[in-house]
A and B are shown apart, each in its own frame.
Chain A
Amino acid sequence: MNNLDLREYITSILANGHRIDGRKLEEYRNPIEIKTGISKNAEGSASARIGETEVIAGIKIGVGTPFADSPDEGVLMVGVELLPLSSPEFESGPPGEQATELARVVDRGIRESKMIDMKKLCIRKGELVWMIFLDIYTINDDGNLIDACALAALAALKESVLPVLKDDKVVFGEFTKTKLPLTRIPVTCTLYKIDSYFLVDPSTKEEKVCDARISICMTENDNICAVQKGGSKGIKIEELDKAINIAKEKTKELRSILNNSSVK
């Protein structure tokens, strides 16, 4: 089926509230699985699975000098690698625009919500701070990588611990019991628009034919701390309201899955 036929088919059944895999428009694939502690050498790690989509996130923590404009704050760096092993469409080489956008959307949610108390990651002002490297890798891309990456990142951060520090150097492989100083949990939900319909958690097929998407990152009190509109078409101003309302519901759902998965 070429993309035009596929689009026609997908929109024709969307009109009746159906999707190609039998889900409702605002229904995530089931189950959403989050596993933590998947890599023992990482300070924190987690995998997130939404349907067949699978990503893993890992955290390494080091020390370094802070940025000049924030001498008393730790440093966070987020990277996403779209591994060629996870999709026929990904190629080797430096991160392209999709990977860069994805990393920056995940980064923005964490940074802008002030999820990590960066001030508590200061060891000596202007000299030494903790540096958090959050790297996310795709294992299987079956759509909705943004939500999956954001979810895996949260799970990894939640279970992450600081390494042992000796003479201002990290002792590799030795961990303390001190968790990262987290204040709140920002959850991201991405809405995909096909014609006038909004759906969540698209498969690769649905993703291919969608007109636009909008990622909304929400905190516990339904405040919005990051938004990114993607895709080549626009959205109407009234549609934004609708998107926010769906995101409110769905981030609650994802949040409870995240909370239940980390009871260990």
Chain B
Amino acid sequence: MVQAKKTEKAERSDGRKLNEMRKMEAKVGIIKRADGSAMFKIGTTVALAAVYGPRELFPGFMQNPEKGILRCNYDMLSFSVTERKRPGPSRRSVEISLVTKNALGSAINLDQFPNTVVDVFIMIVQADAGTRCAGITAASMALADAGIPMRDLVSAVSVGRINGKIVIDLDKEEEDYDGTTDIPCAFMSRNNEITLLQLDGDISAEELKQAVELGKEGCKQISEIQKKALKERYKEIKNE
């Protein structure tokens, strides 16, 4: 028994198995002023998301008379990382906001809300890798909480390759390890549609396919956690 545990430990620095995600926690309805909100925690990475809207979009020339538009804003608190992050947008946060918008946009339908905007704000409170994925997962719950019509929940996790092994949910230590390939991905689990896929590193096509499959399985589990958190929220509303 002890022996078995040892070999498992050798696989990853924090003792997880290759296909094991960190401990997760989800809570919906954490910000009362918002139309929808959620928190998602994976390991020690914590993301908050709030949704406002559909609300009228200003300036008027940005309005779309055919459907509502989605705006996403991802940022990190200055003290969420080891070295202080300068407040305000960076190139990194602009790009992540864009890929987040694309990842969530595939799932929602704003045809009924012409000339409006749905604003999604994501804040990383504590960062230990996988922040964009945690943000997307939280935001997807917040959109559902706000009552936005959706085809499915979007769940996101990072997969990657460390020391030749395909793993899920890299932590900071693994992410920074030399030669790591990091692949953030997001899925709509109902039809296995990929809505976020990024990669940096060096990996063969075969390994990429394996990694994405692993991500798909992980996202299925995350999706269950999201659903459970949303159901909890409705129990709360019933009791209020």
Contacts and interface: CB of A to CB of B under 8 A. Distances in A.
Interface of A: 95, 97, 100-101, 103-104, 108, 111-114, 214, 219, 222-237, 240-241, 244-245, 248
A156 B97 CA distance: 30
Contact residue range for chain B? 20 to 34
Question: 6 closest pairs, A vs B, by CB?
Answer: A227-B199, A234-B193, A229-B197, A234-B195, A232-B105, A234-B106
20 contacts: A95-B91, A97-B95, A100-B94, A100-B98, A101-B95, A104-B95, A111-B200, A112-B202, A219-B202, A223-B203, A225-B203, A228-B99, A230-B99, A230-B102, A231-B102, A235-B193, A236-B193, A237-B192, A237-B212, A240-B197
A226 B199 contact: yes
A237 to B, nearest CB: 5
Contacts of A235: 193-194, 197
Interface string B151-163: 0000000000000
Contacts of A228: 99, 197-199
Contacts, number: 97
B21 interface: no
- A227, A230, A233, A245 — which one has the most chain B CB atoms within 10 A of its CB? A227
Contacts of B34: none
B238 interface: no
A221 to B, nearest CB: 8
Contacts of A112: 200-202
Interface string B203-219: 11100110011001000
Given A227-B199, A236-B194, A237-B194, A104 B91 contact: yes
A8 B189 CA distance: 29
A114 B101 CA distance: 30
